[in-house]
Structure 1
Amino acid sequence: MSSEARPVGPWTWEGNELFDAHRSRIATVRSDVIFFNSERLLVESEPGPFQFRARATTGDGKVFTLVQSRMTVSTLLADCDGRRYTLQRSSVWRKARHIIDADGDIVARVRPLISGRVEFHAGPAVADLPLVDAVFLSWGCVLVDSPVRRPRI
Protein backbone atom coordinates (compact mmCIF):
# COMPACT_ATOMS: atom_id res chain seq x y z
CA MET A 1 0.00 0.00 0.00
CA SER A 2 1.28 3.45 -0.87
CA SER A 3 1.65 5.96 1.97
CA GLU A 4 2.44 8.90 -0.32
CA ALA A 5 0.11 11.91 -0.38
CA ARG A 6 -1.91 11.75 -3.57
CA PRO A 7 -2.47 14.72 -5.85
CA VAL A 8 -6.16 15.54 -6.28
CA GLY A 9 -7.70 13.79 -9.27
CA PRO A 10 -8.56 13.39 -11.96
CA TRP A 11 -5.10 13.93 -13.44
CA THR A 12 -4.59 15.04 -17.02
CA TRP A 13 -1.63 14.65 -19.37
CA GLU A 14 -1.50 17.73 -21.59
CA GLY A 15 1.34 17.30 -24.02
CA ASN A 16 4.35 16.35 -21.92
CA GLU A 17 2.98 17.56 -18.58
CA LEU A 18 0.77 15.82 -16.02
CA PHE A 19 -1.52 18.05 -13.93
CA ASP A 20 -3.83 17.34 -11.01
CA ALA A 21 -7.38 18.71 -10.72
CA HIS A 22 -6.03 22.02 -9.31
CA ARG A 23 -3.65 22.43 -12.29
CA SER A 24 -0.59 21.71 -10.13
CA ARG A 25 2.08 19.94 -12.13
CA ILE A 26 2.69 16.35 -11.00
CA ALA A 27 5.20 15.25 -13.64
CA THR A 28 6.81 16.36 -16.87
CA VAL A 29 8.58 14.55 -19.69
CA ARG A 30 11.63 16.10 -21.35
CA SER A 31 14.02 14.34 -23.73
CA ASP A 32 12.48 10.94 -22.89
CA VAL A 33 12.91 11.42 -19.13
CA ILE A 34 9.93 11.53 -16.78
CA PHE A 35 10.56 13.99 -13.96
CA PHE A 36 8.35 13.19 -10.97
CA ASN A 37 9.15 14.46 -7.46
CA SER A 38 12.75 13.37 -6.91
CA GLU A 39 12.43 10.50 -9.42
CA ARG A 40 13.90 10.49 -12.90
CA LEU A 41 12.74 7.71 -15.21
CA LEU A 42 14.58 7.31 -18.51
CA VAL A 43 11.98 6.05 -21.00
CA GLU A 44 12.72 4.00 -24.10
CA SER A 45 9.76 3.09 -26.29
CA GLU A 46 9.13 1.23 -29.54
CA PRO A 47 5.84 2.33 -31.07
CA GLY A 48 6.39 -0.02 -34.02
CA PRO A 49 3.59 -1.14 -36.33
CA PHE A 50 3.47 -4.67 -34.90
CA GLN A 51 4.64 -4.38 -31.29
CA PHE A 52 4.45 -1.65 -28.64
CA ARG A 53 7.07 -1.70 -25.89
CA ALA A 54 8.11 0.87 -23.30
CA ARG A 55 10.77 0.59 -20.64
CA ALA A 56 11.79 3.07 -17.96
CA THR A 57 14.74 2.90 -15.63
CA THR A 58 15.20 4.96 -12.46
CA GLY A 59 18.50 6.39 -11.34
CA ASP A 60 18.85 3.62 -8.76
CA GLY A 61 18.22 0.86 -11.32
CA LYS A 62 14.53 0.07 -10.83
CA VAL A 63 12.94 -1.10 -14.09
CA PHE A 64 9.41 -0.44 -15.32
CA THR A 65 8.09 -2.12 -18.48
CA LEU A 66 4.91 -1.95 -20.55
CA VAL A 67 4.41 -4.38 -23.43
CA GLN A 68 1.74 -5.38 -25.90
CA SER A 69 0.56 -8.91 -25.12
CA ARG A 70 -1.32 -9.77 -28.32
CA MET A 71 -1.63 -8.77 -31.98
CA THR A 72 -3.37 -5.53 -30.97
CA VAL A 73 -2.73 -3.05 -28.17
CA SER A 74 -6.06 -3.81 -26.50
CA THR A 75 -4.17 -5.50 -23.65
CA LEU A 76 -0.87 -4.25 -22.27
CA LEU A 77 1.12 -5.95 -19.53
CA ALA A 78 3.20 -3.93 -17.09
CA ASP A 79 5.85 -4.70 -14.53
CA CYS A 80 6.79 -1.80 -12.25
CA ASP A 81 9.78 -2.95 -10.21
CA GLY A 82 8.08 -6.30 -9.55
CA ARG A 83 4.52 -5.00 -9.24
CA ARG A 84 2.42 -6.39 -12.11
CA TYR A 85 -0.52 -4.76 -13.88
CA THR A 86 -2.78 -5.39 -16.85
CA LEU A 87 -3.94 -2.39 -18.86
CA GLN A 88 -7.11 -3.55 -20.58
CA ARG A 89 -9.26 -1.55 -22.96
CA SER A 90 -12.72 -1.23 -21.44
CA SER A 91 -14.44 -1.44 -24.84
CA VAL A 92 -13.53 -2.53 -28.34
CA TRP A 93 -14.91 0.82 -29.54
CA ARG A 94 -12.88 3.11 -27.28
CA LYS A 95 -9.28 3.60 -26.21
CA ALA A 96 -10.16 3.99 -22.52
CA ARG A 97 -8.39 1.45 -20.28
CA HIS A 98 -8.68 -0.09 -16.85
CA ILE A 99 -5.43 -0.56 -14.96
CA ILE A 100 -5.81 -3.80 -13.03
CA ASP A 101 -3.36 -4.95 -10.36
CA ALA A 102 -2.11 -8.51 -9.82
CA ASP A 103 -5.05 -9.22 -7.46
CA GLY A 104 -7.54 -8.35 -10.22
CA ASP A 105 -8.57 -5.03 -8.65
CA ILE A 106 -9.09 -1.90 -10.77
CA VAL A 107 -6.62 0.69 -9.49
CA ALA A 108 -7.31 3.32 -12.17
CA ARG A 109 -8.96 4.22 -15.44
CA VAL A 110 -7.20 6.06 -18.26
CA ARG A 111 -9.16 7.89 -20.96
CA PRO A 112 -7.56 9.50 -24.02
CA LEU A 113 -9.48 12.44 -25.46
CA ILE A 114 -9.69 13.56 -29.08
CA SER A 115 -7.87 16.78 -28.07
CA GLY A 116 -4.76 14.72 -27.27
CA ARG A 117 -5.16 15.09 -23.51
CA VAL A 118 -5.22 11.87 -21.51
CA GLU A 119 -7.18 11.65 -18.25
CA PHE A 120 -6.25 9.44 -15.30
CA HIS A 121 -9.07 8.59 -12.88
CA ALA A 122 -8.66 6.74 -9.59
CA GLY A 123 -10.23 3.31 -9.40
CA PRO A 124 -11.65 1.55 -6.33
CA ALA A 125 -8.22 0.11 -5.36
CA VAL A 126 -6.11 3.22 -6.14
CA ALA A 127 -4.59 3.15 -2.64
CA ASP A 128 -2.65 0.05 -3.75
CA LEU A 129 -1.06 1.91 -6.71
CA PRO A 130 2.26 3.64 -5.91
CA LEU A 131 2.40 7.14 -7.40
CA VAL A 132 5.49 6.37 -9.48
CA ASP A 133 3.65 3.41 -11.03
CA ALA A 134 0.64 5.63 -11.79
CA VAL A 135 2.83 8.22 -13.51
CA PHE A 136 4.69 5.63 -15.61
CA LEU A 137 1.57 3.65 -16.56
CA SER A 138 -0.40 6.75 -17.48
CA TRP A 139 2.51 8.04 -19.62
CA GLY A 140 2.61 4.62 -21.33
CA CYS A 141 -1.06 5.09 -22.20
CA VAL A 142 -0.21 8.49 -23.67
CA LEU A 143 2.46 6.86 -25.83
CA VAL A 144 0.23 4.09 -27.15
CA ASP A 145 -3.27 5.62 -27.15
CA SER A 146 -3.09 9.40 -27.59
CA PRO A 147 -4.34 10.53 -31.01
CA VAL A 148 -1.99 13.54 -30.95
CA ARG A 149 1.77 13.06 -31.14
CA ARG A 150 3.78 14.80 -28.46
CA PRO A 151 6.62 17.06 -29.50
CA ARG A 152 10.08 15.85 -28.49
CA ILE A 153 11.74 18.47 -26.36
Structure 2
Amino acid sequence: MEERAPAPWCWEGNELFDAHRELIATVRSDVIFFRAERLLVESEPGPIQFRARATIGDGRVFTLAQNGFTVGTLHADCAGREYVLRRTSLWRKERHIHDARGRVMARVRPLISGRVELHAGPGYESLPPIDAVFLSWGCVLVDSPVRRPRV
Protein backbone atom coordinates (compact mmCIF):
# COMPACT_ATOMS: atom_id res chain seq x y z
CA MET A 1 0.00 0.00 0.00
CA GLU A 2 1.39 3.41 -0.89
CA GLU A 3 2.09 6.05 1.73
CA ARG A 4 -0.93 8.18 2.53
CA ALA A 5 -1.06 11.80 3.65
CA PRO A 6 -2.97 12.23 6.92
CA ALA A 7 -6.67 13.10 6.89
CA PRO A 8 -8.53 15.34 6.93
CA TRP A 9 -7.78 16.62 3.46
CA CYS A 10 -9.28 19.92 2.40
CA TRP A 11 -10.02 21.43 -1.00
CA GLU A 12 -9.51 25.19 -0.91
CA GLY A 13 -10.33 26.57 -4.31
CA ASN A 14 -8.52 24.34 -6.77
CA GLU A 15 -5.93 23.03 -4.32
CA LEU A 16 -6.10 19.99 -2.04
CA PHE A 17 -4.14 20.08 1.24
CA ASP A 18 -3.50 17.44 3.88
CA ALA A 19 -3.81 17.92 7.65
CA HIS A 20 -0.31 19.45 7.75
CA ARG A 21 -1.20 21.98 5.01
CA GLU A 22 1.01 20.19 2.49
CA LEU A 23 -0.23 20.37 -1.10
CA ILE A 24 -1.58 17.03 -2.36
CA ALA A 25 -3.22 17.95 -5.68
CA THR A 26 -4.17 20.92 -7.83
CA VAL A 27 -6.70 21.44 -10.61
CA ARG A 28 -5.82 23.63 -13.59
CA SER A 29 -7.80 23.86 -16.83
CA ASP A 30 -9.81 20.73 -16.01
CA VAL A 31 -6.71 18.65 -15.24
CA ILE A 32 -6.08 17.22 -11.78
CA PHE A 33 -2.36 17.13 -11.02
CA PHE A 34 -1.72 14.47 -8.38
CA ARG A 35 1.83 13.21 -7.83
CA ALA A 36 3.05 12.03 -11.25
CA GLU A 37 -0.51 11.51 -12.52
CA ARG A 38 -2.58 13.84 -14.69
CA LEU A 39 -6.34 13.26 -14.76
CA LEU A 40 -8.17 15.04 -17.58
CA VAL A 41 -11.64 15.79 -16.19
CA GLU A 42 -14.76 16.27 -18.27
CA SER A 43 -17.92 17.15 -16.33
CA GLU A 44 -21.54 17.99 -17.00
CA PRO A 45 -22.85 19.82 -13.94
CA GLY A 46 -26.22 20.46 -15.56
CA PRO A 47 -29.44 20.97 -13.60
CA ILE A 48 -30.84 17.62 -14.68
CA GLN A 49 -27.85 15.27 -14.78
CA PHE A 50 -24.42 15.36 -13.13
CA ARG A 51 -21.57 13.37 -14.66
CA ALA A 52 -17.81 13.58 -14.38
CA ARG A 53 -15.22 11.49 -16.17
CA ALA A 54 -11.46 11.55 -15.80
CA THR A 55 -8.93 9.86 -18.01
CA ILE A 56 -5.32 9.18 -17.02
CA GLY A 57 -2.47 9.03 -19.53
CA ASP A 58 -2.24 5.23 -19.31
CA GLY A 59 -5.91 4.93 -20.35
CA ARG A 60 -7.52 4.26 -16.97
CA VAL A 61 -10.96 5.87 -16.66
CA PHE A 62 -12.69 7.25 -13.55
CA THR A 63 -16.41 8.12 -13.62
CA LEU A 64 -18.86 9.70 -11.18
CA ALA A 65 -22.55 10.15 -12.00
CA GLN A 66 -26.03 10.31 -10.62
CA ASN A 67 -28.37 7.51 -11.66
CA GLY A 68 -31.60 8.96 -10.32
CA PHE A 69 -33.47 12.26 -10.35
CA THR A 70 -31.29 13.92 -7.73
CA VAL A 71 -27.61 14.09 -6.83
CA GLY A 72 -28.35 12.61 -3.40
CA THR A 73 -26.64 9.39 -4.45
CA LEU A 74 -23.73 9.25 -6.87
CA HIS A 75 -22.15 6.13 -8.34
CA ALA A 76 -18.45 5.95 -9.16
CA ASP A 77 -16.10 3.64 -10.97
CA CYS A 78 -12.40 4.34 -10.46
CA ALA A 79 -10.56 2.09 -12.91
CA GLY A 80 -12.73 -0.88 -11.91
CA ARG A 81 -13.15 -0.02 -8.21
CA GLU A 82 -16.80 0.81 -7.50
CA TYR A 83 -18.11 3.31 -4.95
CA VAL A 84 -21.42 4.85 -3.89
CA LEU A 85 -21.43 8.40 -2.52
CA ARG A 86 -24.57 9.03 -0.45
CA ARG A 87 -25.64 12.20 1.28
CA THR A 88 -25.96 11.71 5.01
CA SER A 89 -29.19 13.73 5.19
CA LEU A 90 -31.77 15.35 2.95
CA TRP A 91 -30.83 18.68 4.50
CA ARG A 92 -27.05 18.52 4.17
CA LYS A 93 -24.56 18.09 1.34
CA GLU A 94 -22.22 15.93 3.44
CA ARG A 95 -21.60 12.49 1.90
CA HIS A 96 -20.21 9.12 2.88
CA ILE A 97 -18.10 7.28 0.33
CA HIS A 98 -18.95 3.55 0.44
CA ASP A 99 -16.99 0.82 -1.30
CA ALA A 100 -18.68 -1.98 -3.26
CA ARG A 101 -19.23 -3.94 -0.01
CA GLY A 102 -20.96 -1.00 1.67
CA ARG A 103 -18.07 -0.12 3.99
CA VAL A 104 -17.66 3.62 4.71
CA MET A 105 -14.31 4.69 3.30
CA ALA A 106 -14.51 8.43 3.94
CA ARG A 107 -16.79 11.38 4.61
CA VAL A 108 -16.87 14.47 2.38
CA ARG A 109 -18.07 17.66 4.04
CA PRO A 110 -18.64 20.90 2.04
CA LEU A 111 -18.48 24.06 4.15
CA ILE A 112 -20.24 27.36 3.57
CA SER A 113 -16.83 28.99 3.05
CA GLY A 114 -16.39 26.90 -0.11
CA ARG A 115 -13.84 24.57 1.46
CA VAL A 116 -14.56 20.86 1.07
CA GLU A 117 -13.13 18.46 3.66
CA LEU A 118 -12.38 14.75 3.26
CA HIS A 119 -12.36 12.85 6.58
CA ALA A 120 -11.23 9.27 7.13
CA GLY A 121 -13.85 6.59 7.63
CA PRO A 122 -13.41 3.04 8.96
CA GLY A 123 -12.18 1.77 5.57
CA TYR A 124 -10.01 4.78 4.74
CA GLU A 125 -6.71 2.86 4.62
CA SER A 126 -8.12 0.76 1.76
CA LEU A 127 -9.13 3.79 -0.32
CA PRO A 128 -6.46 4.39 -2.98
CA PRO A 129 -5.27 8.02 -2.75
CA ILE A 130 -5.96 8.66 -6.44
CA ASP A 131 -9.57 7.53 -5.92
CA ALA A 132 -9.89 9.83 -2.90
CA VAL A 133 -8.60 12.78 -4.94
CA PHE A 134 -10.98 12.14 -7.87
CA LEU A 135 -14.03 11.39 -5.71
CA SER A 136 -13.52 14.39 -3.46
CA TRP A 137 -13.02 16.69 -6.49
CA GLY A 138 -16.28 15.31 -7.92
CA CYS A 139 -17.98 16.28 -4.66
CA VAL A 140 -16.49 19.77 -5.01
CA LEU A 141 -18.03 20.02 -8.48
CA VAL A 142 -21.49 18.86 -7.44
CA ASP A 143 -21.82 20.00 -3.80
CA SER A 144 -19.64 23.04 -3.12
CA PRO A 145 -21.63 26.23 -2.53
CA VAL A 146 -18.87 28.30 -4.15
CA ARG A 147 -18.52 28.11 -7.91
CA ARG A 148 -15.09 26.90 -9.02
CA PRO A 149 -13.11 29.23 -11.25
CA ARG A 150 -11.71 27.75 -14.45
CA VAL A 151 -8.01 28.52 -14.24
State yes or no: 1:5 paired with 2:3: yes
> Which residue of structure 1 lines up, in the alignment, with residue 22 of structure 2?
24
> Which residue of structure 1 lines up, in the alignment, with residue 62 of structure 2?
64
> Which residue of structure 2 lines up, in the alignment, with residue 129 of structure 1?
127
Deviation per CA, 1:35-68: give whole Å up to 9, x if none: 0000000000000110000000000000000001
Give the number of equivalent residue pairs: 151
Unpaired stretches in structure 1, ≥5 consecutive residues = none
Q: 1:102 aligns with which of 97, 100, 103?
A: 100
Deviation per CA, 1:69-122: give whole Å up to 9, x if none: 110000000000000000000011100000000011000000000000000001
- SS of residue matched to 2:132: helix
Q: CA deviation at 1:19?
A: 0.2
Distance 2:127 2:88 in 1: 19
Q: Which residues of 2 match residues 130-149 of structure 1 at below 5 A?
A: 130-149=128-147
Q: Which amino acid aligns with 1:123?
A: G
Aligned-pair Cα RMSD in Å: 0.5
> Which residue of structure 2 lines up, in the alignment, with residue 35 of structure 1?
33
TM-score by length of 2: 0.99
Unpaired stretches in structure 2, ≥5 consecutive residues = none
- SS of residue matched to 2:68: coil
TM-score by length of 1: 0.98
Segments ≥4 residues shifted beyond 2 Å: none
